[in-house]
Amino acid sequence: MLMSMLIEVWGSYGCFTRPEMKTERVSYDMPTPSAARGLVEAIYWHPGLRYTVDRIYLLKPFGLDPVDEVSTEEYTQRPIRFTNIRRNEVKSTLSARSARTVMERGKGELYLCTSDDIQQRAALLLRDVRYVIEAHFDMTSQAAPGDNPGKFQDIVKRRIKKGQFYHQPCFGCREFPAHFRWCEELPPCPKELLGERDLGWILWDMDYTNPEDIRPLFFRGTLRDGVLEVPRPGKWGGAGMILQALTDYYGDTLRTSTQQVKTTAFRMEPNK
């Protein structure tokens, strides 16, 4: 039994980092389904239910004054707005190899000193973000005998209306908190978002089927009239085919590039 819900979320900034640009962070144009699911789980999580994000609606941000021609023109030209900032980030990670070395030698440091191991990095963020997350949950085998979908539906709705959460929901990074409320009715699509916009490949989720080989899953995102439709396993070919299509695409691109390099190198080789 599917129990659907609509949650409106908004905030000042968001960063849903593209995996190919993780050093200098660059955000996707829209939240990833896994980030949206994490936001909902921050409000209420239980081992007896599993959330699935169905759609993400892009809304016009708060604070746009219709009388202000500058802000109106800016939004008309760029409905998805970005901004650049520089942040202090820890540049290293504590690896398992370092921890093992310290344990074997019996001396060393098992911590990172942020004041000594910090650097400034640029980030391309979303700003003035506002969405509606349409999601549903399914019961899992971890549910107790007395649990039922109606019970969980009431708990989630009550927590959202009261503003309760287990940890602060955020837009990709903890520095960018998300405000939320129960959405009774979807607002109309802004005219600036009418039509289709190709968002490229977007991270769908991680496949933990094999703990020894955790693999990312991607899908081709398209924003239609301000709505990002999220595929589900078994729909549009299934998550496995989403991964396979992406693997084949990049594999063909890599093979073509390699062949071109080999051809160029062969042509540049001097005659013997």
pLDDT tens digits for range 122-143: 999 999 999 999 999 999 889 8
pLDDT at 164: 94
pLDDT at 111: 80
SS (HEC) of the chain: CCEEEEEEEEEEEECCECHHHCCCEEECCCCCHHHHHHHHHHHCCCCCEEEEEEEEEECCCCCCCCCCHHHHHHHHHCCCCEEEEEEEEECCCCCHHHHHHHHHHCCCCCCCCCCCCEEEEEEEEEEEEEEEEEEEEEECCCCCCCCCHHHHHHHHHHHHHHCCCCCCCECCCCCCECEEEECCCCCCCCHHHCCEEEEEEEEEEEECCCCCCCEEEEEEEEEECCEEECCCCCCCCHHHHHHHHHHHHHHHHHHHHHHHHHHHHHHHCCCC
Angle at alpha carbon of residue 14, lines to 64 and 163, rounded to 5°: 80
pLDDT at 237: 44
Mean pLDDT of the chain: 82
75/100 Cα distance (integer angstroms)? 52
3/73 Cα distance (integer angstroms)? 40
pLDDT at 29: 94
Residues in CB range of 62: below 8 A, 6 or more apart: 10, 128, 130
Q: With a cut of 50, which residues of the chain have pLDDT below it?
A: 69-70, 236-241, 244, 254, 257-258, 261-272
pLDDT at 31: 96
Tokens representing 218 are 């991607």
pLDDT at 263: 42
Count the Cβ atoms, other than its own, within 10 Å of residue 272.
Answer: 3
pLDDT at 116: 81
pLDDT at 103: 87
Residue 156, CA atoms < 13 Å, CB-side half-sphere: 26
pLDDT at 152: 92
Q: In whole angstroms, what separates CA 256 from the centre of its chain?
A: 30
